[in-house]
Amino acid sequence: MPIATAREPIAAAAFTAEQRQYLEGFLAALAHLPFAGHTAGGRITADPHAAPNNLAAPPHEDTYFGTPLSELAKPERWKHEENPLDIWDKILAHAAADKFPDEADAFRFKFFGLFHVAPAQDSFMLRVRIPAGQLTSGQLRGLADLAEEHGGGYAHVTTRANLQLREFRPRSIGEVLTRVQDLGLTSRGAGADNVRNITATPTSGFDAGELLDVRPFAHGLHHYILNQRDLFGLPRKFNVAFDSGGAISAAAATNDLCFTAVRLGAPAMATHSDGTSESVPAGVYFRIQLGGITGHGDFARDAGWLIRPAQAVAVAAAMVRVFSEHGDRTNRKKARLKYLLEKWGMEKFLAETARQLDFRPWPLPAGSVEPRRPVTKHGWLGVHPQRQPGRSYVGVGLSAGHLSAAQMRGLASLAERHGEAELRLTVWQNILLPHVADESVPKLRAELRALGFMLESSPAAGGVISCTGSRGCRYAATDTKAHAAALATALQDRLADLPAPVNIHFTGCPHSCAQHYCGDIGLLGAKLPDGSEGYHIVIGGGMDHEEGIAREIFRSVPAAEIIPLVERILRRYRDLAGEGESFAQWTRRQETERLRKVLT
């Protein structure tokens, strides 16, 4: 029998009638295979024309914290591709090759506190965590050695009371990280999307007016975070502060989360959401505030909770987890806690937090506790009596937070000879030497002056702080540290007759590391149309009992004109304010245009 080939029509082949009938039936069946598929609504259909959707095997995309990978912001993708906590061998390999990291690894290195800060400096900056700002003389001396042997020979105290050491070559980073840990310190989580250095009132433990020594809570949270792998790699950074109610401001309400010690003067009834009530005895507790980010114009808001101090670390841990799981990982500009609170509302955030806790915080309005006592502006400079009789703490002023290695060693030695080998860093970029016997104060003052430190509080110059600026930060529009130091020097011996002290904050870009919106005078760095450096000037901000966001009064002022302009502003304040009226009070009672005229 002849065989039909693929090129021959079947009809042309010499099949028997029976064979032809079989083949035609077979081919007809092939043209109409029984069909089973899925409609767009998810039902199973036998109609091949019913818009088939392959619902049985839907397209699958991996997610990271519930966000599809394709929607993640770039740093989130980097975190997903390689956990930054697992790159120790990579750091050592870069050190061995004396090589800087690529963009993705430069981001991951920040989880170890290492910042490649090119083009500002083609080197690494190391940020060291100093929980509660508490440092031993041995640690300070060890950091001075590191700064001198491997870095630029200096350090900066930051506005989170960290210490930053600069100008490390890649070949040094393995040894630098190891020696920091040998000193009992760590830089882990000091940068990128982590809980940053835990700050606290720097006079904790010796402040005559404090309600609670908050150091144990700051240290407790520090160690908890460091030992919980899931609390690294948040949607963005997360700042936490503990406020003792003491003399010096911890700038607490500028944090994502702050705990403020308060006194409940009389027993109060707390009513939970399920209608049950509890009597809360009088005593000292923490109130909680959430969502501070002053660069975005917001202070932290009271959450309506009162907790026992011993519950603070647990509450912080729960809140950081809620933020980690639900914060925005697609848009870096909306990834801070403030935006989760805006999306959810405070009530939902607290409900999610409460679900993680095995105890119930007490819902009590802020008005049920005694108000915090006012902070002492510029209380971080000069000599102040401690709670311990016969002892004082001495506030040492630094020039825009700068410390040479020689000054670090000098301070360490003075803390050992005149104190208890302990120092405290403040978020005002200076240092306290505590536990000094009163009779040793005159000698200590003379020795501090010989090291080049400022001790006397000047109402005009005693509160000048600055972010890193263009010498060490790629985002900076201006050399903030140089401009701040020059202004402080110019004002130091002038305008001693101001009605009240003022704070002046220099920040080099809108990230606002020096919180320009909370200064009496805030300066935001800007490139002027001709490419030169200048500042936008905001006026009338404040913190604590003066809390408020400053208003922009001057725009694009050349850097060279800053000193005369600030002097003019302060002279107007001195001449026109009421007796004892603070700068914030004086400026806030004036409408913006009028204030601009008065200050021009």
Tell me the backbone φ, ψ of residue 246, rounded to 5 degrees.
Answer: -85, -165
Question: Least Å distance between CB 240 and ligand SF4?
Answer: 19
Other CB atoms within a 10 A radius of the CB of residue 325 amount to 15
Residues with Cβ < 8 Å from 515, sequence gap 6 or more? 159, 251, 254, 294, 295, 505, 507, 522
Token pair for residue 548? 């408020």
CB nearer ligand SF4, residue 124 or residue 259: 124
The 3-state DSSP composition of the chain as helix, strand, coil percent (nearest 5) reads 35, 20, 40
Residue type, 76: E
CB nearer ligand SF4, residue 263 or residue 474: 474
Q: Which stretch binds ligand SF4 (CB under 6 A): 109-117, 121-129, 319-327, 507-515?
A: 507-515
Question: Least Å distance between CB 576 and ligand SF4?
Answer: 32
Q: Name which of 522, 518, 520, 487 is nearest 501 in CA terms.
A: 520
CB nearer ligand SF4, residue 132 or residue 476: 476
Is residue 118 a contact partner of residue 102, using CB atoms and an 8 Å limit?
A: no
Buried b (16+ CB within 10 A) or exposed e, 218-254: bbbbbebbbeeeebbbbbbbbbbbbbbbbbbbbbbbb
Q: Which of residues 58-77 bind ligand SF4 (CB under 6 A)?
A: none
* C-alpha 339 chain-centroid distance: 15
* Binding residue (CB under 6 A) for ligand SF4 from 64, 100, 224, 475: 475
Q: Which of residues 431-470 bind ligand SF4 (CB under 6 A)?
A: 467-469
Question: What is the rounded CA–CA span in Å between residue 465 and residue 15?
Answer: 99
CB nearer ligand SF4, residue 137 or residue 512: 512
Q: Which of residues 214-243 bind ligand SF4 (CB under 6 A)?
A: none
Instruction: Please tell me whether residue 423 adopts helix, strand or coil conformation.
Output: strand
* Binding residue (CB under 6 A) for ligand SF4 from 135, 473, 485, 500: 473
Question: Least Å distance between CB 196 and ligand SF4?
Answer: 13
* C-alpha 597 chain-centroid distance: 36
Question: Least Å distance between CB 537 and ligand SF4?
Answer: 16
CB nearer ligand SF4, residue 506 or residue 573: 506
Question: Least Å distance between CB 484 and ligand SF4?
Answer: 11
Question: What is the rounded CA–CA span in Å between residue 421 and residue 399?
Answer: 23
CB nearer ligand SF4, residue 190 or residue 513: 513
Question: Least Å distance between CB 327 and ligand SF4?
Answer: 20
* Binding residue (CB under 6 A) for ligand SF4 from 382, 508, 522, 542: 508
CB nearer ligand SF4, residue 480 or residue 582: 480
Question: Least Å distance between CB 94 and ligand SF4?
Answer: 23
Strand partners, 240: 257
Q: Give the CA dihedral 381, 382, 388, 389, nearest 10 degrees.
A: -160
* C-alpha 94 chain-centroid distance: 27
Question: Least Å distance between CB 121 and ligand SF4?
Answer: 12
* Binding residue (CB under 6 A) for ligand SF4 from 229, 343, 449, 511: 511
147 touches ligand SF4 (CB under 6 A):
no
CB nearer ligand SF4, residue 203 or residue 478: 478
DSSP-derived secondary structure letter, 544: G
Q: Which of residues 512-551 bind ligand SF4 (CB under 6 A)?
A: 512-513
Residues with Cβ < 8 Å from 545, sequence gap 6 or more? 372, 374, 375
Question: Least Å distance between CB 506 and ligand SF4?
Answer: 9
Token pair for residue 360? 């119930």
Q: What would you measure as the largest C-alpha separation in the chain, in angstroms?
A: 125
Question: Least Å distance between CB 379 and ligand SF4?
Answer: 25
Q: Which stretch binds ligand SF4 (CB under 6 A): 168-176, 441-449, 504-512, 532-540?
A: 504-512
* Binding residue (CB under 6 A) for ligand SF4 from 248, 476, 495, 570: 476
Residue type, 19: Q
Residues in the interface with ligand SF4 (CB under 6 A) total 12
Residues with Cβ < 8 Å from 26, sequence gap 6 or more? none
Question: Least Å distance between CB 436 and ligand SF4?
Answer: 33
CB nearer ligand SF4, residue 476 or residue 550: 476
Q: Which stretch binds ligand SF4 (CB under 6 A): 53-61, 253-261, 316-324, 510-518?
A: 510-518
Question: What is the rounded CA–CA span in Å between residue 242 and residue 128?
Answer: 19
* Binding residue (CB under 6 A) for ligand SF4 from 270, 412, 509, 543: 509
CB nearer ligand SF4, residue 130 or residue 448: 130
Question: Least Å distance between CB 153 and ligand SF4?
Answer: 21
* Binding residue (CB under 6 A) for ligand SF4 from 121, 204, 244, 507: 507
Question: Least Å distance between CB 476 and ligand SF4?
Answer: 3
Determine if the peptide bond prior to 309 is cis (ω within 30°).
Answer: no
Q: Which stretch binds ligand SF4 (CB under 6 A): 61-69, 229-237, 508-516, 537-545?
A: 508-516
User: How many helical (H) and strand (E) elements, i.e. helices and strands, does the chain have?
Assistant: 16, 27
CB nearer ligand SF4, residue 224 or residue 475: 475
Residue type, 540: G
Q: Which stretch binds ligand SF4 (CB under 6 A): 11-19, 180-188, 342-350, 503-511?
A: 503-511
Residues with Cβ < 8 Å from 298, sequence gap 6 or more? 291, 292, 338
Question: Least Å distance between CB 156 and ligand SF4?
Answer: 10
CB nearer ligand SF4, residue 204 or residue 507: 507
Question: What is the rounded CA–CA span in Å between residue 204 and residue 225?
Answer: 21
CB nearer ligand SF4, residue 430 or residue 512: 512
Give the residue carrying structure tokens 């081919």.
27
Is residue 396 a contact partner of residue 431, using CB atoms and an 8 Å limit?
A: yes
Q: What angle do CA 255, 366, 160 make, to 5 degrees?
A: 15
Instruction: Please tell me whether residue 539 adopts helix, strand or coil conformation.
Output: strand
Question: Least Å distance between CB 119 and ligand SF4?
Answer: 13
Applying CB under 6 A, which residues contact ligand SF4?
467-469, 473, 475-476, 507-509, 511-513
